[in-house]
Amino acid sequence: MSKKPFVTKEQVEEIVKTYPTPFHLYDEKGIRENAKALKEAFAWNPGYKEYFAVKATPNPFLLQILKEYGCGCDCSSYTELLMSDAVGIDGHDIMFSSNDTPEEDFKLADKLGAIINLDDITHIDFLEKTIGHIPETISCRYNPGGIFKISNDIMDNPGDSKYGMTTEQITEAFKTLKAKGAKEFGIHAFLASNTVTNDYYPMLAKVLFEQAVRLQKETGVHIKFINLSGGIGIPYTPDQEPNDIRVIGEGVRKVYEEVLVPAGMGDVAIYTELGRFMMGPYGCLVTKAIHEKNTYKNYIGVDACAVNLMRPAMYGAYHHITVLGKEDAPCDHKYDVTGSLCENNDKFAIDRMLPEVDMGDYLVIHDTGAHGFSMGYNYNGKLKSAELLLKEDGSVQMIRRAETPKDYFATFDCFEVGKKLCK
């Protein structure tokens, strides 16, 4: 089985006349269609809002596209807050969900009017001391502990997660926050990552909805919203069936009507914080084969490396690879596809069956639109690539230039040696 890239060999050959490989390329048409489908899937809930997880793909051009569909931003750091504000997303269109949070981050979140989502009960006093008050609208992150299962499949282990409060802690937190002046409350939870099943969100919703009913009854607070966070995944391998967001939305609606409506909580807004689902399939890393090595194994060396996409090196994650122009050729050659870092795990694929790769061939590494560029780094003095947007009309727009050596040396600019390097 194979995946079809959203870009052709002919298009890449035209792009590289202006922008050399490697580069991350995003599909504007796919992003827009997906954002529209998500909005329609949850249209049954009048207060619904998607807070895009900025950490997945922190690029203001992409945030502006999502803003057109009513999306806000899920931010977890000072700089993500700055980026959100720069594109005109502020106030309650920002959900600030962080952990182990520095004072400066809370201060900026409060200044921008963001909804603050507290990760731990001890953060109540820390927040109050930091910003001088408790916001009238506030959220708490919940962790039910244990193992989260769908049928007999273990999806994840919340009990081992550093995030969120226990059942007892969130109850106490709501009582404390109410006593300190909070008026509108939210509940947030993230129990599993990258689930490729339509059942995850409805099951998570049931856990949170039942908890919300209990909390409202025991503490007397008004729960304004329930944030289902992320966790809806994408099919990285070609044999996986993608999630159907409309089926997911309908599944959440049924649980909403079964649990919240009978409890008199039919006014609760549903929020989501999707990063991977919103952007993952609509980005790819385009790289060129520049070396072939045949020793104990057969290697194809490309001009990208783990600096551009670290998921395979860090997690052993699978990313499908297409050799452009050879989509219909038999995959009868076994290769390790490698980058140039001085690390043996700098491999995009191991023992991958591909068509015969010739030097100069362009390879598309699929599904890098989320947690691709954003996880990059500068090990070995390697520089981050450009980010490009393939627009709906077929034209290409640079939305982040490639780094230069001057960028790499910029933080030495206060020293004499740095001034020489930055020339």
CA distances from 114 to 2, 99, 109, 325, 387 (A): 42, 15, 5, 47, 28
Residue type, 254: K
Which residues are CB-contacts of 289 (< 8 A; sequence separation ≥ 6)? 300, 301, 302, 357, 358, 359, 360, 361, 362, 363
Find out whether 361 and 326 touch, Cβ atoms under 8 Å: yes
Q: Please name which of 106, 145, 136 lies closest in space to residue 123, comparing C-alpha atoms.
A: 106
Given a cut of 60, whether residue 188 has pLDDT beyond it is yes
Residue type, 176: T
159 pLDDT band, cuts 50/70/90, is: low
Given a cut of 70, whether residue 149 has pLDDT beyond it is no
For 82-122, the pLDDT digits (tens) are 999 999 999 999 999 988 999 999 999 999 999 999 999 99
Q: What are the domain boundaries of the chain? A: 9-24+281-412, 27-280
161 pLDDT band, cuts 50/70/90, is: low
CATH code, residues 27-280 = 3.20.20.10
307 pLDDT band, cuts 50/70/90, is: very high
Find out whether 106 and 130 touch, Cβ atoms under 8 Å: yes
Both tokens of 299, joined, read 């290697």
The verdict on whether omega for the bond into residue 355 sits within 30 degrees of 0, i.e. cis, is no
What is the 3-class SS of 251-317, one letter each residue? HHHHHHHHHCHHHCCCCCEEEECCCHHHHHHHEEEEEEEEEEEECCCEEEEECCCCCCCCHHHHHCC
Given a cut of 50, whether residue 155 has pLDDT beyond it is no
Given a cut of 70, whether residue 151 has pLDDT beyond it is no
Beta-carbon neighbour count of residue 369 at 10 Å?
28
Strand positions, DSSP E, 55-130: 72-75, 94-97, 115-118
Say how far apart CA 402 and CA 407 lie, in whole Å: 10
Given a cut of 70, whether residue 160 has pLDDT beyond it is no
SS3 115: strand
342 catalytic, yes or no? yes
Strand positions, DSSP E, 2-75: 23-27, 49-53, 72-75
Average pLDDT over every residue of 260-264? 97
For 272-296, the pLDDT digits (tens) are 999 999 999 999 999 999 999 999 9
Both tokens of 167, joined, read 């059942």
> What is the fold of 9-24+281-412?
Lyase, Ornithine Decarboxylase; Chain A, domain 1 (2.40.37)
For 339-353, the pLDDT digits (tens) are 999 999 999 999 999
Given a cut of 90, whether residue 217 has pLDDT beyond it is yes
pTM: 0.95
- Strand 283-294 relative to strand 362-365, pairing: antiparallel
Say how far apart CA 306 and CA 285 lie, in whole Å: 11
CA 315, 319, 323, 329 torsion-angle sign:
positive
Say how far apart CA 329 and CA 239 lie, in whole Å: 19
Both tokens of 406, joined, read 């001057």
The single residue of 71, 73, 305, 342 carrying the catalytic annotation is 342
Average pLDDT over every residue of 111-136? 97
Both tokens of 404, joined, read 């230069």
156 pLDDT band, cuts 50/70/90, is: very low
Find out whether 270 and 256 touch, Cβ atoms under 8 Å: yes
- Strand 269-272 relative to strand 298-302, pairing: unpaired
Phi, psi of 323 (to 5 degrees): -90, 110
- Strand 94-97 relative to strand 72-75, pairing: parallel
